[in-house]
Amino acid sequence: MRIIALTLLTLLYWSSAHAQWYQAQGQAYISKDNAKAAKSKAVENALKKALLVAGASVSSVQQVINGLLTQDEINIRASGTVRSFELIDELHQDNSITVTIRANILPQERQCFSADYRKSLLITKSHIKNREQANIGGIYQLDNTLVKKLSHAIRQQGMYLETKLALKNNSAFSRYNNSIQVEEIKRIAMTLADLTDSQYVMFSEIEDISFADTENNSWSFWQEDEFNRYFNFAVYIYNGANGELVFSKNYYNEAPWTFTKRAQVDVYSKAFWQSEYGQTIKHTLTDIVTDIDDNMMCQPTRAKIIQVASNQVRINIGSNHGVKVGDEFSLLHLKNFTSSDGKLYAGFNVSPYTVKVTDVSAYNALAVTTENNALGNIQLDDVAVRY
């Protein structure tokens, strides 16, 4: 199991044909004496972080760069160009490796206006698919505390999302997801987005928290040795305007469970989150934040129109999302429709109107038509968008 802790150390502005140097640090735990794999993962994630900060969009890790490590495969595909890339420090301490890398990155011009804005993301309560797996340690509240940690991590580390939490009730997502009822999931996502004034909705499932080399969590396996416990987690993000899936990914990790076999573990405690298993989850959340941020950067920011008066509209995003006085939006009529076979499809009619923001508060903004035209048939719940 490889755990990565990423900290951006320094941003260096060394000019080379408009490229800039970025220095980043990565740390990884060594699992099963596989130092090579840990080093590769640490370098990979440090470079990924540097690329994101440089304004590049990292979509996968797929090809060797500059032959940095002759035995390790460091793979990156991004919208920026890595002109040169070097490992400048490597520290082995206890059961971990810390590396510092420096990359000379030539970013392309930003390819989406929506990267200027933070999208509002509703994070719903997670779901433990096999609750009997939580018996060991009594970690039944992991579904609740996990998404709180994720929301906090997005706020602290992410650049493109403003999060909200909905933890009081379980949604029907897992039931519909298990039976592949795609249209029902769309409807849930749209309903929740409408009720909470959110642009995107995230569902998640804790797919596996069982133990390695065991069956059915029987205590017969447990002796003096520590056993690894799995942490498999699935994330799904849906567009609240039309219910379309925009991001999904499964994360697979494991780490030693260091508590005694009969201990009841408080998943809100420092003891849990500072354990190897808790640290594994925390670093998985870091990977999730990076992946979500990269994916959501260029997703369109679709603001809902919450007030219409003459030549003015008020939209449901504001300064907390990055909106500024002078920003311009196009107006769209939302035209979702259901086909004869019951499938829900997204649709928009582009209106002839463009509006410019004249006043901004934290969570909404006032905009007027650029030609001072009356807005005609623009209605509540229509959409303002800047691509």
The pTM assigned to this predicted structure is: 0.68
- Residues 126, 166: one domain? yes
- Residues 162, 45: one domain? no
248 token code pair: 């999904």
What is the structure's pLDDT at 161?
A: 87
Q: Are strands 161-166 and 119-124 parallel, antiparallel or unpaired?
A: parallel
324 token code pair: 């500024």
From 187, 195, 206, 140, select the one nearest 166 (Cα to Cα): 195
The CATH number linked to 365 is 2.40.10.410
Tell me the C-alpha distance between 370 and 160, whole Å: 27
Within 185-265, strands assigned E span 200-208, 227-239, 245-257
Residues 56, 31 contacting (CB under 8 angstroms): no
Place of tokens 């970013």: 107
- Residues 184, 207: one domain? yes
First to last CA, the chain: 39
Q: Which of 106, 124, 142 is the last residue of a domain?
A: 106
User: Alpha carbon 15 to chain centroid distance?
Assistant: 32
Residues 147, 282 contacting (CB under 8 angstroms): no
Helices (H), 159-304: 173-178, 182-196, 270-273, 276-296
Q: Which of 296, 331, 358 is the last residue of a domain?
A: 296
- Residues 173, 233: one domain? yes
- Residues 318, 240: one domain? no
- Residues 184, 206: one domain? yes
Give Dmax (Cα) for the chain.
77
Q: What averages of pLDDT result for each successive group of 10 residues across the chain (387 residues)? A: 32 42 75 80 75 52 37 41 74 84 64 72 94 94 94 87 86 87 91 90 95 58 70 95 90 92 92 94 91 83 85 90 88 73 68 86 90 77 78
Quote the domain boundaries for residue 348.
301-386
What is the structure's pLDDT at 69?
A: 41
Tell me the C-alpha distance between 237 and 249, whole Å: 9
- Residues 305, 286: one domain? no
The CATH number linked to 262 is 3.40.50.10610
Residues 305, 353 contacting (CB under 8 angstroms): no
- Residues 213, 148: one domain? yes
What is the structure's pLDDT at 112?
A: 62
| 3-class DSSP state of 273 | helix
The phi and psi torsions of 228 (rounded to 5 degrees) equal: -75, 145
The neighbouring-strand residues paired with 239 are 200
Number of domains the chain contains: 3
| 3-class DSSP state of 327 | coil
- Residues 149, 281: one domain? yes
**DSSP character string of 168-180:** SS--SHHHHHHTT
What is the structure's pLDDT at 377?
A: 77
The neighbouring-strand residues paired with 386 are 301
Residues 249, 308 contacting (CB under 8 angstroms): no
The answer to whether the Cα torsion of 42, 275, 10, 109 is positive or negative is positive
- Residues 267, 126: one domain? yes
